Structure formats: structure tokens, C-alpha cells
Amino acid sequence: MLPKKRFSVRRLPGFAVIAIACFTLLYAPIMILVVYSFNAGSSIAVWEGFSWQWYSAAWDNEMVQSATFNSLVIAIQASLYATVLATMAALGTTRTKPYRGQTAIYTMINQPLMVPEIVTAVALLICFAVIKQLTDYQGLMYLVIAHTAFCIPFAYLPIRARLEGMDRALETAAADLYATPWRSFRQVTLPLMWPGILAGSMLAFVISLDDVVITEFVKSAGQDTLPTYMLGQLRRVITPEMHAISTVLLVVSVVIVSVIFILNRSKN
């Protein structure tokens, strides 16, 4: 009796054609965007030669500088707060005995992933509108809080995955050697889960940096981030300057996602 061959999707008829078509549809528009960001002319469709002028124009644009500063301030704070909260949530859902309501808590933590983003944005808009009336505060902290709430599940998932993949025998051995829970966490658990924490924080940073919907609903006048500034410019006129900014954001996102991938593969 001949041995059965293991199933592989790559052996299905037409797999290669479908795969190539999918990759083409996904990445061809992005490659066109990158190429035309180096266009010497102002046309977004006619190639007029190679030039760095649109990158220079974006760099010297004061509105782009202000929007970039806002984006970085919000993304750094939101990723920091989201990572701390996500780490605490991950420990609370993986390093405790099963308890009643654990599944409900897991669902609540991941709620922003399941609910349409615009629903979260409207809810935050209503909540912050009440607070603004009571306090008269109009600062960036509203955006930081909104981004933090939205980024928590993105930071939580890689941290939880890291914790679930760790060998708990090491923590048990530390307890057997009379280590206190805090010392066991600080010297055993935290170093082992550090790649997951870094991956979660980077993912939260990228999500916050690229967010448009929640930012558009929550921000006040003069609080444009880079994505909302680009959206406003695209409503008026599309220029290769927008291509240049998009390419920079693409490069930053690809670098961070690549680091996350490397960290998630790390076993030490």
C-alpha cells in the first residue's frame, strides 16, 4: 500500500497563478506610489525624471513638521501606556488559575479588534465632549487616551502569545528556590517575556502612528497628526509630496514590522 501524501495547498491547481495575482494586486499600487514619489515633475501620473525634491519639500514643510511631531508624541505615549496595561492584562489572564469570567475579560480586552473602528471613535467623541465641557481642557491627552484604548489589544496579543509559549517550569523552579513572586517575575518571567513586550509596543506604535478614523473624530483644531494632515491635503489636491510622505511611513512601518517578526521568532 502506497503511503499517503501529506496535503499541501501548493499542489492545488492554479495555486501559483492565484498567489502571483494576489501579490500583484497588493503590492503593485504600493510600488507605483514609491516610484512616483521620486518624480521630478508635479504630475502624479506622468514620469518626468528622477528627483528628491518632494522629500525635501515635505521635510521643509512646517505643517508636515508639526503634524509629524504630534504623531510621534501621541504614538510614543500611547504605545507606552498600552504596553504597560497590556502586560498587566496578559499576566492576569495567563499566570493565574482559571476563574469565572476569564473568557469575558479576554473578549473585553480584544473588543477594539471586533467592533468597527468608527463605533469606537464615536463613543470616544461623545465621552470626551462631556469631559471637555466640564474641564475646558483641549490638549493632546484626549488623543493619547483614545489611541491607548485602541492599541491595547494590539500590544496584548504578542505579549500573551509569548507568555503562553514560555516554559512555566522555570518560574516553578524559582518558587521552589524560595524566590518571592516579585523576584521570580523580575528575574525569570520579565526577561523571558521581554521580546513579546517589545513586539507589542512596536505594533501599538505603528497602529497609533497610522490611525486616521479615531484621530479625525477626537482631535481638536490645530491637532492634526500626519495621517489626518495627509487626508486633508488629498481632499484638496494630490501632489508627489504626499507620495513622499507615504513612502516614508511605509518604510518606517516595514522596518518595525520586520523587527516584530524577528522578536516573535526569538526563543531566548
State percent of the chain over pLDDT 90. Answer: 24
CATH of residue 101's domain is 1.10.3720.10
Q: Is residue 260 part of a domain?
A: yes
pLDDT of residue 7: 66
Is residue 82 one of the residues assigned to a domain?
yes
pLDDT tens digits, 152-163 = 999 999 899 888
Higher per-residue confidence, 19 vs 86: 86
Q: Considering the chain, what is the average pLDDT of its residues?
A: 85
pLDDT of residue 264: 67
Confidence at residue 146, expressed as pLDDT on a 0 to 100 scale: 93
- The verdict on 186 and 70 lying in the same domain is yes
For residues 33 and 142, membership in a common domain is answered with no
Residue 116 neighbours by CB distance under 10 Å: 10
Q: What pLDDT is stored for residue 4 in this prediction?
A: 60
Which pLDDT band, with edges at 50, 70 and 90, does 147 fall under?
Answer: very high
Instruction: Please state the domain count of the chain.
Output: 2
End-to-end CA distance of the chain: 44
- Answer whether residue 202 is part of any domain: yes
Whether the predicted pLDDT of 209 surpasses 80? yes
Confidence grade of residue 190 (pLDDT, cut at 50, 70, 90)? confident
Contact between residue 155 and residue 208 where contact means Cβ atoms under 8 Å apart: no
Judge if 73 and 184 occupy the same domain. Answer: yes
Tell whether 117 and 30 lie within a shared domain.
no
Task: Tell me whether residue 120 is in a domain.
Answer: yes
Same domain, yes or no: 93 and 160: yes
Q: Are residues 45 and 66 in the same domain?
A: no
Q: Same domain, yes or no, for 43 and 122?
A: no
Let me know whether 98 and 22 are in one domain: no
Q: Is-contact 155 204, C-beta < 8 A?
A: yes
Calculate helix-pair angle for 141-165, 190-210, nearest 10 degrees: 140
Residue 91 makes CB contacts below 8 A (sequence gap 6+) with 163, 189
* Residue 5, domain member (yes or no): no
Grid coordinates representing 256 are 518595525
Full domain range(s) for residue 25: 14-51
Task: For residue 239, tell me if it sits in a domain.
Answer: yes
Residue 168, all three cell numbers: 512555566
80 vs 91: which has the higher pLDDT: 80
**pLDDT confidence of residue 237:** 75
Of these ranges, 20-24, 77-81, 244-248, 264-268, the one predicted with the greatest mean pLDDT is: 77-81
Q: Which phi-psi region, left, alpha or beta, contains residue 242 (left: φ > 0; alpha: ψ -120 to 50)?
A: alpha
111: which residues sit within 8 A by CB, 6+ positions away? Answer: 153
Do residues 72 and 139 both lie within one domain?
A: yes
Looking at the structure, tell me whether residues 46 and 66 fall in a common domain: no
Residue 136 is assigned to a structural domain of this protein:
yes
Assess if residue 143 is contained within a domain: yes
Residue 151 has which C-alpha cell?
492599541
35 and 158 inside one domain: no
248 and 145 in a common domain: yes
pLDDT (tens digit per residue) in 89-125: 998 888 777 778 777 888 888 888 888 889 989 999 9
